[in-house]
Amino acid sequence: MADEPKPKIDIKEEGRKIAEAKASDDKVVNKEKKVEQKSDKQPAKDAQDVKSSIIDKKITEPSGKAKEETKPEEKKKPIQKKPVVKKTEAIVNAVNLPISTKYTAAVCRFIKNKKIENAISDLEQVLIFKKAVPMKGEIPHRKGKRIMSGRYPKKATEHFIKLLKSLSANANANELDNPIIIEAITNIASRPFGRFGSVRRKRTHVKIKVIEKKLSSKNKPNQRDIK
């Protein structure tokens, strides 16, 4: 038999096949390496997950005090407030005023049983010598109705006007309607000695009290001197 002709080998195709085989082998090797790396990193991720879960629990779980606060609140007893009692009077006190006790007593009688506004207006008339304060004793006679003798005590009148304005503010604070002066009391205070002890200074205590007109009319139904 004659020798059969050998088939021709294409070198290019064989090289291409060898290259494809190597590439497939490299892909398989790379996949195995990636799987190994993932298996190595997985425990670290698990550890991180555990730490993060612990931190979240610490944050979300309240402390002991917070847990106590979350308990249902106990019923608190209602706070009992004292009833507000409306005041029925207003008082002003003055201590150691440098005025004459004799003139002060006359002014107290002059303003008693009057409204505060009327008393202030009358005392302002005294300052301009339009109205005299009735007084007793060896005092000159003055013109006017129901007065035999009197004077114009300027210093005492000025102090009384200040006291009556303060008393009016106290009456407004106590919410008094139509306050009327029912008490005007004066007392002599301790009189200090002047220079070298030759003279004693004038010192007087004064107390003025007002109440509402309704209450005063109940206490004194036949009172006619209120102006």
The pLDDT tens digits of the residues spanning 103-138 come to 999 999 999 999 999 999 999 999 999 999 998 888
Superfamily of domain 89-219: Ribosomal protein L22/L17 (3.90.470.10)
Pick 63 or 29 by higher pLDDT.
29
* pLDDT score recorded for residue 211: 93
- Determine contact, residues 106/135, Cβ cutoff 8 Å: yes
Give the pLDDT score at 204.
97
User: Distances in Å between the alpha carbon of 123 and those of 36, 151, 160, 170, 209?
Assistant: 112, 12, 8, 20, 17
H or E element at residue 56: helix 11-60
pLDDT recorded at residue 7: 53
Q: What is the mean pLDDT of the chain?
A: 78
Query: Alpha-carbon distance 124 to 145, whole Å?
Result: 18
Residues with Cβ within 8 Å of residue 99, at least 6 apart in sequence: 153, 155, 156, 159, 202, 204
133 has which bridge partners? 151
List all residues 6 or more positions away from 86 whose beta carbon is below 8 Å from its beta carbon.
Answer: 174, 175
pLDDT in tens, 133-163: 998 888 888 776 667 788 999 999 999 999 9
The beta-strand segments (E) located in 28-146 are: 89-97, 133-134
Structure-block tokens of residue 66: 């917070």
**188-221 CB burial, b ≥16 within 10 A, e <16:** ebeeeeeeeeeeeebbbbbbbbbbbeeebeeeee
**What distance in Å separates the CA atoms of residue 51 and residue 63, rounded to the nearest whole number?**
19
Encode pLDDT of 31-60 as tens digits. 666 656 655 545 544 555 655 666 555 555
Q: Show Cβ contacts of residue 192 under 8 Å, excluding neighbours closer than 6 positions.
A: 200, 201, 203
**Which of 113, 57, 127 lies closest to 225, judged by CA?**
113
> What per-residue confidence (pLDDT) applies to 1?
46
Are residues 182 and 216 in contact, defined by beta-carbon separation less than 8 angstroms? yes
pLDDT digits (tens, 9 = 90+) for 161-214: 999 999 999 999 998 988 999 999 999 999 999 888 889 999 999 999 999 887
Task: Report how far residue 128's alpha carbon sits from residue 133's, in angstroms, rounded to the nearest whole number.
Answer: 12
Q: How far apart are CA 201 and CA 100, in angstroms?
A: 9
